[in-house]
Amino acid sequence: NTAGKPIHCKAAVARKAGEALVIEEIIVAPPKAHELRVRVLCSALCFSDIHFWRLKEPHGYYPRIFGHETVGVVESVGEGVEDVKVGDTVIPSFLAYCGECPDCTSLKSNQCSKLRFELSPYIRDGTSRFSDTKGQTIYHFGYTSGFSEYTVVDITHVTKVDPALRASRACLLGCGVSTGVGAAWKTADVEAGSTVAIFGLGVIGLSVAKGARLRGAKRIIGVDLNPEKAEIGKKVGVTHYLNPTDLGGKSASEVILEMTDGLGADYCFECVGLPSLGQEAFTCCRKGWGKTVILGVDKPDSQLILNSLVNSHSGKSITGVQYGGLKPNIDIPILAKRYLDKELQLDLFVTHEVKLEDINKAFKLLIEGKCLRTVIWM
Ligand code: FXY
Ligand code: ZN
Ligand code: ZN
């Protein structure tokens, strides 16, 4: 019985910005009040892990344990934890849910205003539960840190899930797939018969397509530089694939405007994290009612510039959300059920599986655009 004692285990530690992760023995302290220690089953790699692993100071923190698409089993719980017990299967989330604040009690928001999302290197209480064998503190990431055999998360950052759900699929609900599907269903609220434009066909963009398809969107235009995305896009409902290098000098937004009689797409999604793509998406978004949703994670100090006269009076809107506007603890069980009912596709997104020792292969695959999700087994 390990409850109440520090656990020595293996983890993939990011020692320096952009450098290969190191599989090390680390020490995971027992959970404090309102926390639980989780034996991680597996975690998938999302591009945000790479994005933040590339950041140098002051935005980067090292040594650090990344990973925020995770599923695991509760090993022990701290004082005051009643909602989950030892042995439960849980998905940690980077967004918190306090259940009491104006945001948690509203259907309009998933941004808990009591426990706000920050790019914090700690868990909720502002300290770390990780250290190396020399006693040096190791930082957390996204309140989750799934690239470790054990992690500690706050009770406000977990959702209990059905253990019948395959772990390699369950972990995906922690970020990418939920973000894409949520953006189509909740943020944009895509209507049947509409035209959708998606910039970037990674897991987020493909999940937007799937969500839009399930809503009955008529035309789903997917834009991506990688020609292999044409085929995979079809499988989730992309009806028209555009490769920006292949448009005879026109931009994707010009082509989308042409395809829509000069009107634009009803719903546009930026799924890469580039302001230039946000601008393009908004440019080909329909006046009157169009909605553009920014999902890609951008660099800390970058700016999105829109022409004020052309845009401010247009009747179209632009918004950015985290996690597709979904509330993890409420919506993860709903998405899980849809997967078990064979409505929601998850299998397609798992293109590779590796052992923790080979986590750097997962990084390489995603950087080179050669995978969708690589599941890393602990
Ligand atoms: O990949 C999704 N989420 C990350 C954990 C962090 C997103 C950062 C958004 C900036 C506020
Ligand atoms: Zn709250
Ligand atoms: Zn993510």
Q: What is the CATH number of the domain that holds 71?
A: 3.90.180.10
Shared domain for 130 and 213, answered yes or no, is no
Shared domain for 195 and 222, answered yes or no, is yes
pLDDT at 346: 96
Q: Which atom of ligand 1 is nearest to the CA of 141?
A: 5
Residue where the block lists tokens 């945000």: 48
Q: Which atom of ligand 1 is nearest to the CA of 47?
A: 1
Q: How many A from CA of 238 to the centre of ligand 3?
A: 22
Per-residue pLDDT of the chain (378 residues; tens, 9 = 90+): 999 999 999 999 999 999 999 999 999 999 999 999 999 999 999 999 999 999 998 889 999 999 999 999 999 999 999 999 999 999 999 999 999 999 999 999 999 999 999 999 999 999 999 999 999 999 999 999 999 999 999 999 999 999 999 999 999 999 999 999 999 999 999 999 999 999 999 999 999 999 999 999 999 999 999 999 999 999 999 999 999 999 999 999 999 999 999 999 999 999 999 999 999 999 999 999 999 999 999 988 899 999 888 888 999 999 999 999 999 999 999 999 999 999 998 999 999 999 999 999 999 999 999 999 999 999
Question: Is residue 339 included in any domain, yes or no?
Answer: no
- Prediction pTM value: 0.96
Shared domain for 167 and 315, answered yes or no, is no
Shared domain for 15 and 86, answered yes or no, is yes
Q: Please give the sequence-ordered ranges of beta strands (E in DSSP) within the chain, or none if there are none.
A: 7-13, 22-28, 35-44, 69-77, 89-92, 130-132, 137-138, 150-154, 158-161, 195-199, 219-223, 240-242, 267-270, 291-294, 317-320, 350-355, 373-377
Shared domain for 83 and 136, answered yes or no, is yes
- Cα atoms found within 13 Å of the Cα of residue 44, Cβ hemisphere only: 29
Question: Is residue 337 included in any domain, yes or no?
Answer: no
pLDDT at 308: 85
Question: Is residue 191 included in any domain, yes or no?
Answer: yes
Q: How many A from CA of 263 to the centre of ligand 3?
A: 33
Residue nearest (by alpha carbon) to ligand 1 atom 2? 48
pLDDT at 125: 94
Q: How many A from CA of 193 to the centre of ligand 1?
A: 31
Output the DSSP codes for 264-310: -BSEEEE-S--HHHHHHHHHTBPTTT-EEEE-SPPPTT------HHH
pLDDT at 57: 86
Q: How many A from CA of 51 to the centre of ligand 1?
A: 9
Mutate to test the pocket of ligand 1, among 297, 299, 326 (most ligand atoms within 8 A of CB): 297
Q: Which ligand is nearest to the CA of 176?
A: 3
pLDDT at 205: 98
ipTM reported for the complex, 2 dp = 0.94
Tell me the catalytic residues. 46, 48, 51, 68, 175
Return the number of other C-beta atoms located less than 10 Å from residue 162's C-beta: 11
Domain with 274, as residue range(s), is: 177-322
Q: How many domains does the chain have?
A: 2
Residues in contact with ligand 1 by the CB-under-6-Å rule are 46, 48, 68, 94, 142, 175, 297, 322
Shared domain for 26 and 153, answered yes or no, is yes
Give the model confidence (pLDDT) of 296-332 as tens digits: 999 888 999 998 888 889 999 999 999 999 999 999 9
Shared domain for 32 and 170, answered yes or no, is yes
Q: Are the beta carbons of 93 and 158 closer than 8 angstroms?
A: yes
Output the DSSP codes for 167-217: HHHHGGGGTHHHHHHHIIIIIS-PPTT-EEEEE--SHHHHHHHHHHHHTT-
Shared domain for 170 and 215, answered yes or no, is no
Interstrand relation of 158-161 and 195-199 (parallel, antiparallel or unpaired): unpaired
What average pLDDT does the structure give for the chain? 97
Domain with 254 in it: what CATH number? Answer: 3.40.50.720
| DSSP type of residue 114 | S
